[in-house]
Amino acid sequence: MMEDRKQLLVDKFKIFWKPGDEIICTRIFRWSNNNCYLCGHTPIEWHHVLLNTVSNQTIDVEFSCVINIKKILEELGSDQKILFFHKYTEEVNHLNSKYQGTAAMIAFNSNTEVIIGLLSNPNDLSYKQVRSILDYTVKFSEGNEAELFHAALDIYTNRKYYIYEMLDDHEKTNNVEQSIENYFREEWDRVRNNETEYQSASYNVHINDRDCPF
């Protein structure tokens, strides 16, 4: 029975991922009635929105299934890790403390001249780069970094990258760009003020074998 369940998770994951595909966690948020894409569990306390940057498909999985995905990758012969943006450093450390090698940080050079150079060639920019620039420059309310934030925000909204983070509701507002800017600033405040929340006692509940067949 356990092997059957395990195979179901592997088969479900292989619909989302093929060898050579890159997986990025675009967003982490708390509580909703969404079902975990991989195991079907609901409600989810900590959501992890995962993007396949090759197919542009996104899925929503719970904490234990981020680790399950890493174990499935290993079973399929891949040593790749799930990539996270720098603002999720605490989450990466926590995931790796539960299963070593699950997650890794996306490389990003925060030098202002480097960022200016990247933004001067917008056609060459990927989602990963634009989002990294936004996460860094959102910390600044004035100066060059603030201008760079708005330049990156224009690219982000024009390309509708917010869909990769399951933020489609922003399209329903009268001012998408202002709505997205507010989201990034609120996210920055949340991450800055609640770094230990991700490791709360309620989050570290025991996971039994039925939930984690790997």
What average pLDDT score do residues 178-183 get? 80
Question: Burial letters for 131-157: b for 16+ Cβ neighbours within 10 Å, e otherwise?
Answer: bbbbbbbbeeeeeebeebbebbbebbb
**Residues 44-91 pLDDT 10s:** 889 999 999 999 999 999 999 999 999 999 999 999 999 999 999 999
- Look up residue 28 and give its two tokens: 């982490």
pLDDT of residue 169: 58
| Poorest-pLDDT segment among 8-12, 156-160, 192-196 | 192-196
Long-range contacts of 112-121 (CB under 8 A, 24+ apart): 112/144, 112/145, 112/148, 115/148, 116/144, 116/148, 119/148, 119/151, 119/152, 119/155
DSSP helix/strand/coil, 191: helix
| Poorest-pLDDT segment among 1-15, 25-39, 166-180 | 166-180
Whether the predicted pLDDT of 206 surpasses 70:
no
pLDDT of residue 33: 79
pLDDT of residue 18: 97
Whether the predicted pLDDT of 171 surpasses 70:
no
- Domain ranges, ordered by start, for the chain: 2-106, 112-193
What average pLDDT score do residues 88-96 get? 94
pLDDT of residue 201: 37
